[in-house]
Structure 1
Amino acid sequence: MHSNTQTSHTLSPSRRGLLRAAVAGSAAAGSVLALGSVFPASAAPPDAGSEPGYPADRPLTPDQALGRLAEGNRRWRTYRQQHPHESRSVRLQLTTSQHPFAVVLGCVDSRVPPELVFDQGLGDLLTVRSAGEVLDEAVLGSIAYGVLELDIPLVLVLGHQSCGAVGAAVHADETGEQLPAHIQYLAERIRPSIDHGLEGAARVDATIDAHARRTRGLLAAEPDLADRIAAGRLAVVAARYELRDQRVRTLR
């Protein structure tokens, strides 16, 4: 299946209903916010002391949600983590409901766990992870659930430095090598983002950014998400995590 078919996998009302029932039973490209290339350090109120009012301090707008992530990443990269929302009272509240404020679509890479990278706690993030942030029907359905059923105002596509999935896709494209079946599936979906204007490590690095941007565009083009973006209720943002300094920056 080629990547240009992905945006056609929208969730019909009946499929949304099935998804809602399944989860309940178990218990566009221009939508980037103009917040600069690096997350601001003071974009959100401090999270310390918010436990008694949880979830009253939940960000309600895309700007507020992105600001909360920015503040958490600043704490993470300066070794001042607060490990919020882990108290007994929050754990008890979360037995009956959840109110995450952001969906983070990240890579499966063990070095980039979203809750740590953004210093968030229980009930804060709906995390969806696939190698190279590759979209498929399960990933799309998971993101749609967060946005449509939990009213989450932000979807962040988080690429990262030294992504092995992107590296494998670039290698396969350059050599014609056929990868193992399931890894080849990933490579085929990353291939449209490969930057053929560069060589070597620079090509891989540029493709990491291009793929995060392309994934953002595919998500923003999903009709249900696009409607919310148009209404100002949702933003889909591409970002990149640097392993060297643990900084997250948004991608234009």
Structure 2
Amino acid sequence: MIKKNISRRSLVKFGAGALGTGILTAGISSNLVVSEQAVAQAVVQEEKKDLTPEQALQSLIEGNQRFVTRKRRSPNQTPTRLVEVAKSQKPFASILGCADSRVPAEIVFDQGFGDLFVCRVAGNIATSEEIGSLEFGSLILNSKVIMVLGHKRCGAVDATIKGAQVPGHISSLLDAIQLGVEKSKNLPGDKVENACKANILVQVQKLKSSLVLSQLIEQGKLKVVGAYYDLDDGKVTLLS
């Protein structure tokens, strides 16, 4: 207790001399906040060095848990981090997500600049271009896990179930989702939810059939999983 009081008096004395009594409280408070942020940033960075695929996946799950429980750390979102990754990147995870505006990956997984390699397209489908991008993210950038992230009440999936007549290139999206719809049509329960989840698993298998990605999986350098995002509570649930 005595040591604590002495330390506090010393800090006050130093702060008064350097800043003046008028801004002492604000200055100390600000410095402490910056210090805590710096420590948290260093811890996060250390945790993400040389992650295994399993650890990378766990980092995503833990980030989502923080998001759901309103305990976000908002790591790697400072101006310092922006400059740090300006010339190079090493994302620890890749996300193949839906283009839906309600599912921003960095927010729902509580990540920041340079953490996630994100591909987004309506229906979270693995087109040739998306697969090529994710091959690059894994082979060149060393991402350790690819998550296909579908979500509740996906409009593209719903339109596919209903056989919607759509203009332009929209039909190519529905064609890519059709296999998932077919696989789920005899399942009990909510048809859209069943189809959304089946579609996620179809896209996971497409990714795993990639020669580049399958070799990385066999070498233990990559994990490919499917997950379902609940729009109502923000929770991500693994499917595979």
TM-score, structure 1 normalization: 0.75
Q: How does 1:98-117 map to 2 (within 5 A)?
A: 98-117=89-108
Deviations 1:123-148 (A, max 9, x none): 10011000001122221111111011
Q: How does 1:89-100 map to 2 (within 5 A)?
A: 89-100=80-91
Deviations 1:100-151 (A, max 9, x none): 1000000011111100110101110011000001122221111111011101
Q: State the match for 1:10 in structure 2.
A: none
Q: State the match for 1:74 in structure 2.
A: 65
Unaligned runs of 5+ in 2: 1-36
| Alignment partner of 1:149 out of 140, 158, 164 | 140
CA distance in 2, matches of 1:54, 1:77: 19
CA distance in 1, matches of 2:220, 2:168: 40
CA distance in 1, matches of 2:186, 2:220: 36
Q: State the match for 2:206 in structure 1.
A: 218
Q: Pairwise CA RMSD of aligned residues?
A: 1.9
CA distance in 2, matches of 1:146, 1:153: 9
* Partners of 2:137 and 2:143 within 8 A in 1: yes
* 2:173 partner SS: helix
**AA matched with 1:227:** Q
* Partners of 2:44 and 2:75 within 8 A in 1: no
Percent of aligned pairs with the same residue?
37
Q: Compared with structure 1, are the counterparts of its residues 56 and 196 closer, same or farther at alpha carbon in structure 2 (3 Å cutoff)?
A: same
Q: Compared with structure 1, are the counterparts of its residues 161 and 120 closer, same or farther at alpha carbon in structure 2 (3 Å cutoff)?
A: same
CA distance in 1, matches of 2:155, 2:169: 14
* 2:57 partner SS: helix
Q: State the match for 1:228 in structure 2.
A: 216
CA distance in 2, matches of 1:111, 1:54: 26
Pick the structure with greater CA Rg: 2
CA distance in 2, matches of 1:49, 1:75: 18
Q: Compared with structure 1, are the counterparts of its residues 48 and 69 closer, same or farther at alpha carbon in structure 2 (3 Å cutoff)?
A: farther
TM-score, structure 2 normalization: 0.79
State whether structure 2 residue 236 is matched by structure 1 residue 245: no
Q: State the match for 1:51 in structure 2.
A: 41
Unaligned runs of 5+ in 1: 1-46
Q: CA deviation at 1:54?
A: 6.7
Query: Structure 1 stretch 135-144 or stretch 227-236: which is displaced more?
Result: 135-144
How many aligned positions are there?
201
Greater relative contact order: 1 or 2 (C-alpha under 8 angstroms, separation 6 or more)? 1
* Partners of 2:229 and 2:236 within 8 A in 1: yes
**AA matched with 1:197:** N
* 2:39 partner SS: coil
* 1:104 partner SS: strand
| Alignment partner of 2:176 out of 189, 195, 203 | 189
Q: Which has the higher helix share?
A: 2
CA distance in 2, matches of 1:165, 1:48: 42
